[in-house]
Amino acid sequence: MTEQRKRAGGRPRKGDGKRSSLTVRLAPATREFLDLEEAASGLPLTDLVERAVEAQMPRVAAPFTAAQVAALNQRQGDGRFHAFTCANRGDGAHAGEGLLVATTAGWVCPACAYTQGWAWAFQAEEPSR
Ligand SMILES: [Zn+2]
């Protein structure tokens, strides 16, 4: 027996203002595990599923190559994916969304000392033409 769950969540994407929707079919054991996690963590089930999916997505670690930096910065502002933002962006000293900038040493924040040393692997690939 499986259970379907309609997801009307997802992070808001820049641009069209729409939210993504995804139907996930869960095995009973997985569903039971997630229900226990939901109860224990207090996080919505949709967040837990999103975290589980993200945990399985391949990453690349800094240092990034010049080609990776170019791809990362191109994708960072295109609105197709959730952009990486500074963890301190709410402190009043950050303009706009607090977008991070890719460098060969990793992501840096133009407004503070925040850094991030990884990116999703698909983001770092050269865009196909
Ligand atoms: Zn910052």
Note the pLDDT of residue 30. 82
- Give long-range contacts, CB 8 A cutoff, 24+ apart: 14-23: 14/79, 14/83, 14/97, 15/79
Note the pLDDT of residue 12. 45
CA dihedral (83, 89, 93, 98) in degrees, to 10, reads 0
Structurally, the chain folds into a number of domains equal to 2
Note the pLDDT of residue 104. 98
Are 50 and 67 within one domain?
no
Residue 89 lies in a domain: yes
Q: Which residues of the chain have pLDDT under 50?
A: 1-17
Note the pLDDT of residue 82. 81
Q: Does the CA dihedral 29-31-36-40 come out positive or negative?
A: positive
- pTM of the predicted protein model: 0.64
Note the pLDDT of residue 18. 54
83 Cα–ligand 1 center, Å: 14
Note the pLDDT of residue 87. 95
Are 72 and 118 within one domain?
yes
Q: Which domain holds residue 100?
A: 60-124
16 Cα–ligand 1 center, Å: 26
Note the pLDDT of residue 126. 80
89 Cα–ligand 1 center, Å: 6
Note the pLDDT of residue 3. 41
87 Cα–ligand 1 center, Å: 7
Q: What CA–CA distance (Å, rounded) separates 72 from 30?
A: 34
Are 103 and 91 within one domain?
yes
Are 65 and 115 within one domain?
yes
